[in-house]
Amino acid sequence: MKKIGVLVLAFWSFLCFAQEKEQKMKPQETEVWEPKVPVVTPGINNLPPSDAIVLFNGSDLKQWVNAKDGKEADWIINNDGSMTVKNKSGNIKTKQNFGSIQLHIEWKSPKRLEGSGQHRANSGVFLQGLYEIQVLDNNGNNTYVNGQAGSVYKQSVPLVHAAVETGEWNTYDIIYHQPEFDLGGNVTQQATVTVLFNGILVQDHFKIIGPTKFIGYPKYEKHGKGPLILQDHQDNSRVSYRNIWLREL
């Protein structure tokens, strides 16, 4: 008993000393002044900030090519500044390759829908051409939950379903970090992804397991920068996109 009392006192003395030492520190000792932070002018209503790479200006597909053959991207340009998947014309990809990015993209389903499950306004955003964030109309449309809108396809179920009404514009705000590999090709740091679906968190720093696959389990293969790919699901999905920009991280 007495022994513990002494110990507590000793401990207090020690703390007292630590506290005193702390008090002798000056606020300036934990200030960092350099380097200065770059200034960016934010856009309004989700429009691109001043440092963004704008991938679709609403009037042409000059930044995109067919993902398979590298020829002209043959999707439909609409009057309202959006583009729509042209059925069976194939996926499109950006000419430019990217690593880690913050991506903003907006998409909508057609108002009059055909099909169900995975065949209802199915498209997808492939980060580095390999890792798909699912685009799908899930309003009243049942499918496997790791394949619904906002999922990392067949890897991570979204926390919630946060779509607007079918036919209205949805937004994805995505923070993506590319995987890191060693010289032999082993993945040393998995890719990560955070997704806000109409401003609501649906993927929360998820560690991607490998390229998203329709069949089988994912496995990383070493790669460098890659394009953004938008999917033509080849079943007349008629999904539209607009206001696509990203910032390299």
Site for a second copy in 132-161 (CB under 8 A): 144-148, 154, 157-161
Q: Is 201 exposed, middle or buried, given 0-12, 13-18 or 19+ CB atoms closer than 10 A?
A: middle
**Shortest reach from residue 235's CB to a second copy, in Å:** 15
In the bound state with a second copy, the residue whose beta carbon lies nearer, of 135 and 162, is 162
Pairing mode, strands 170-177 and 180-181? unpaired
**Shortest reach from residue 178's CB to a second copy, in Å:** 13
In the numeric block, the tokens 């022994």 are attached to 3
Per CB under 8 A, 26 contacts a second copy: yes
Euclidean distance between CA atoms 120 and 98, whole angstroms? 29
**Shortest reach from residue 88's CB to a second copy, in Å:** 14
Are 193 and 178 within 8 A, CB to CB?
Answer: no
> Which of 205, 225, 234, 248 is in the footprint of a second copy by CB under 8 A?
205
> Which of 77, 173, 223, 236 is in the footprint of a second copy by CB under 8 A?
173
**Shortest reach from residue 200's CB to a second copy, in Å:** 5
Are 229 and 126 within 8 A, CB to CB?
Answer: yes
> Which of 74, 164, 167, 235 is in the footprint of a second copy by CB under 8 A?
164
CA within 13 Å, CB half, 155: 24
Tokens of 218: 């994912």
Pick the stretch among 68-76, 79-87, 119-127, 190-198 that binds a second copy (CB under 8 A): 190-198
Using the Cα atoms of residue 92, residue 94, residue 95 and residue 97 in order, give the sign of their dihedral: negative
Per CB under 8 A, 17 contacts a second copy: no
In the bound state with a second copy, the residue whose beta carbon lies nearer, of 61 and 156, is 156
Q: Nearest CA to 190 among 177, 199, 201?
A: 177
Tokens of 119: 């065949």
In the bound state with a second copy, the residue whose beta carbon lies nearer, of 95 and 219, is 219
In the bound state with a second copy, the residue whose beta carbon lies nearer, of 61 and 163, is 163
> Which of 2, 69, 80, 184 is in the footprint of a second copy by CB under 8 A?
184
Per CB under 8 A, 194 contacts a second copy: yes
Site for a second copy in 96-115 (CB under 8 A): 102, 104
Q: What is the DSSP string of 187-241?
A: EEE--EEEEEETTEEEEEEEE--SS--SSS---------B--EE---SS----EE
**Shortest reach from residue 105's CB to a second copy, in Å:** 13
Q: Nearest CA to 120 among 96, 139, 93?
A: 139
**Shortest reach from residue 77's CB to a second copy, in Å:** 26
